A and B are shown apart, each in its own frame.
Chain A
Amino acid sequence: MIVTRRRFVSWGSAAALSALAPRIAFAAAPTDRRFVFIIQRGAADGLGTLAPVGDPAFAPARGPLAEDFATGAKLDGMFTLHPALAGVAGLYKGGEALFAHAVASPYRDRSHFDGQNVLETGGTSAYSVKDGWLNRLLGVLPEPEKRGMAIAATVPMALRGKVDVASYAPSALPDASDDLIARVTTLYASDPQLHELWEQAVATRQLTGDLAANNGQNAAATGTLAAKLLAPADGARVAMIETGGWDTHAGQRGRLAAQLKGLDAMIGALKAGMGPLWSDTMVLVATEFGRTVAVNGTGGTDHGTASAAMLFGGAVKGGRVIADWPGLTQADLYEGRDLKPTTSLDAFIAGAAAEHFGIEPARMAKALFPTVGPVKPVEGLARV
Chain B
Amino acid sequence: MHTVYPDEKGRFGQFGGRYVPETLMFALEELEEAFQKAMEDNTFQEQLNKELTLYSGRPTPLTFAENTTKRFGGAKIYLKREDLNHTGAHKINNAIGQVLLAKRMNKTKVVAETGAGQHGVAVATACARYGLSCKVFMGQEDIARQSLNVFRMKLLGAEVVSVTSGSKTLKDATNEAIRYWAGAVQDTFYCIGSVVGPHPYPRIVRDFQRIIGLETKEQFNEYEGGAPETVIACVGGGSNAMGMFHPFLEDEEVELIGVEAGGLGLETGKHAASITTGSIGVLHGSMTFLNQDESGQILEPYSISAGLDYPGVGPEHSHLAATKRVTYKTITDAEALEALKILSEEEGILPAIESAHALAQAFEEAVNQPEHTSIVVCLSGRGDKDVSTIMNLLEEDGSYE
Decide if A and B are genuine partners: no
